[in-house]
Chains A and B, each alone.
Chain A
Amino acid sequence: MSRRRRYEPQVKKNSTFGLNITSMTDMFTIMLVFLLQSYSTSDVQINPEKDIRLPSSASMTNATEAIKLSLSGNALKMDETKIADVKNADFLPQDLEDKDTNFIKPLFQELDKIAKSEDLKDKAHVKEGRILLQADKDLPYATLRKVMYTASMAGFPQLKLVTMVGE
C-alpha cells in the first residue's frame, strides 16, 4: 500500500515582512496638526473647576502667576482647598463679619497668611497682590463683591477675571 505524502507548504523561518505604516503616519500627521493648534502658550495653567460655568469674553490676555480663587454656587475655594460655603448664591452668616457683611473672615485669614508667609511674601504676585478669580456666570455681583472687597482689604487689589474664549 502506497502512502500519500502530506503536502507541506514551504515556510522560510527566517523571513521578514514589511509593515505598511503609511496610513498610520497619515493619522499621526492629522493628530499632530490638531495638537499644535491647541498648544497652550500661557505661563500659567488654569484648571477649570467642574461646577463652575465661566462667562465668555473677547479678551485675549493670557493669565499670569497669581493666587487662584474659584467661586461656585456651592463653595469658595483657594486652589483646591475649600475656604467658605456658599448657599443660595450667598455666603453663610457665620463666615461674614457681624458689623461688615461684605467681609469674608476665612478668606481674609487665608490671604493674610499668604501675605505674611516667609516663603511667599517676596514673590511678585503676592507683593503686587494679584488674584485670579474663576466665578460662575450666574452668580450675582453682590456675592462677587464680597470676595473683591475682602481681597482688597487683605492687600490683593489686582483682580483678574478668568473667562472662556468665544461666544
Chain B
Amino acid sequence: MRRARKIKVDHNSEFELDLAPLLAVMVKLVPVLLVSSAFVQMMVIETELPQVVNEAIQRQEDQKTPTNVALEVDPQSIRIVITEKGQEKVETIAMKDGAYDLQGLHSKLVDIKKAHPEVFKLELNPDGKVPYDIIVKIMDEARQARDAKIKFPVFDTKQGKNVETNYMFPEIVFANTMEG
C-alpha cells in the first residue's frame, strides 16, 4: 500500500498583507467626509412668535384654559407668574452672587410642572436689557428636567393611557414681542 504524501506546512512562515486596495478606499473616503463634516455643531431652539391676528384669537380661546405660566425676566430677578382660574400667583427668584439663580429657577419650574402636568406652554417676557445668552439659558432650564429620574405624566391619545416624559415647557413663546 502506498503511503499518502504529507504536505509540508510551515507554521512559522510570514506573509505580507496587501493594504493597497484598503488605502485606495480610504483616500477616496477621507475627502468625502471632510466636505460633509461639521466641525462646529449648531442646533436650533424652536420658538413661536405670536402673530397679531392669531394673538387676538388665542386670547379668546385661552379663557377656557385654567393655567398659564409666564416668566418675567428683569435685570435684577426672575418672576414666575402662574395664572390659575383667574388668580395670579407670583414667585420671585432673586439674584445669587450677582448672577441669575438658574438652579433655583429650574427647581421651581419642576415643582410647577409637577403641580400642573397638563401645561406645556410657557410665556417668556424678558426685559429689553437682558442679554440674549441669559434668555437661551433660561429657555434651557424651562424646556426639560435635568434629572433623568424626574418624569411627568402625559396623556397619549393613541395609546389611551398616560406616558412619561421629562419635557416640562417645550413650547416657549416670546409673549412681549408685540408690545410697544
Contact = CB atoms under 8 A, between A and B. Distances in A.
B61 interface: no
Contacts of B50: 152, 157
Interface stretch (A1-9, A40-48, A77-85, A111-119): A40-48
Interface string B138-149: 011001100000
Counting contact residues on chain B (CB < 8 A from A), the size range is: 35 or more
Nearest to A158: B48
Interface in A29-86: 29, 31-32, 35-36, 38-40, 42, 45-46, 48, 54-64
A120 interface: no
A42 B41 CA distance: 10
A29 B176 CA distance: 53
Q: Specify the main secondary structure of chain A where it touches its partner.
A: mixed
Contacts of B51: 152, 155, 157
Nearest to B38: A40
A148 interface: yes
Nearest to A28: B26
Which of B38, B49, B174 has the most C-beta atoms of chain A within 10 angstroms of its own C-beta?
B49
A152 B177 contact: yes
Interface residues of A, number: 58
Nearest to A35: B33
Q: Specify the main secondary structure of chain B where it touches its partner.
A: mixed
28 contacts: A21-B19, A25-B22, A32-B30, A35-B30, A35-B33, A35-B34, A39-B33, A40-B38, A42-B38, A55-B136, A55-B137, A56-B136, A140-B129, A141-B135, A142-B128, A145-B174, A148-B174, A148-B177, A151-B49, A157-B50, A158-B49, A160-B44, A162-B43, A163-B43, A163-B45, A163-B136, A164-B43, A165-B42
Interface of A: 18, 21-22, 24-25, 28-29, 31-32, 35-36, 38-40, 42, 45-46, 48, 54-64, 100, 102, 132, 135-142, 144-145, 148-149, 151-153, 155, 157-166
